[in-house]
Amino acid sequence: MPADLQSAPFGRSGTDPLLTVADGIGILTHMGREPWRFTRTGDSGRVEAMPSFDIVSEVDRQEVRNAVDQAEREVTTRFDFKNTDSSMEQNDLVITLRSVSEDRLAALRVLLEEKLVKRGVSLRGLDYGKVEEATQNTVRQTVTINVGISSDKARELNRFLKEKGPKGISSQTQGDSIRVNSKKRDDLQAAMAALKAEDFGLPLQFNNFRD
């Protein structure tokens, strides 16, 4: 199959020979891009791409860094954090909070969440570890920002779409994302709306929309 579909010649009947299949269902690779799912649409065997989108769970790491930086600066200027040894230490998507007491630790959590929200980072992906004793009579707690869709969460999402989504859609797990297909664009829009209205415990985004 040639890689460049746009320059491929058309047959005498006017049907693109590269878009003809015998069984009506298959996978077509277009110019090295991700596979398109397609279906037969007539006796001529001509096929068309099935509308689809991908469900992902991602986070802007730079905005996380900006939020933590802003929170750290505020800690150094706020009177209620004075002489409390309060700090935030970030290692990629894991943030360690430290303070002199659980009360001040709770205040750090609130401050971090406020800054994350202002930078457009969803709080749904936050996973708080246990409060632990640390050195110099302080306590600490880790905050992990989860990204990607785990296999367990993918099963939950696929089950939700099967039970509560429009009847005309199908979904398949692809690594840490989910591909949702439907013959009708309106069904995909309805599926997105249903997913947005449900709390799955992680932020969801929809991308790679194909008409």
pLDDT confidence of residue 14: 46
The CATH homologous superfamily of the domain defined by 61-145: YajQ-like, domain 2 (3.30.70.990)
pLDDT confidence of residue 45: 52
Query: Chunked in runs of 10, what are the mean pLDDT values of the chain (211 residues)?
Result: 44 42 38 44 55 94 97 95 94 96 95 96 93 89 94 95 91 94 92 92 90 79
Q: Please state, in angstroms and rounded to a whole number, the distance separating the CA atoms of residues 120 and 100.
A: 29
Residue ranges per structural domain of the chain: 1-49, 61-145
**Structure tokens, 22:** 């015998």
pLDDT confidence of residue 50: 83
How does DSSP assign 130-155, residue by residue? --EE-STT-EEEEEEE--S--HHHHH
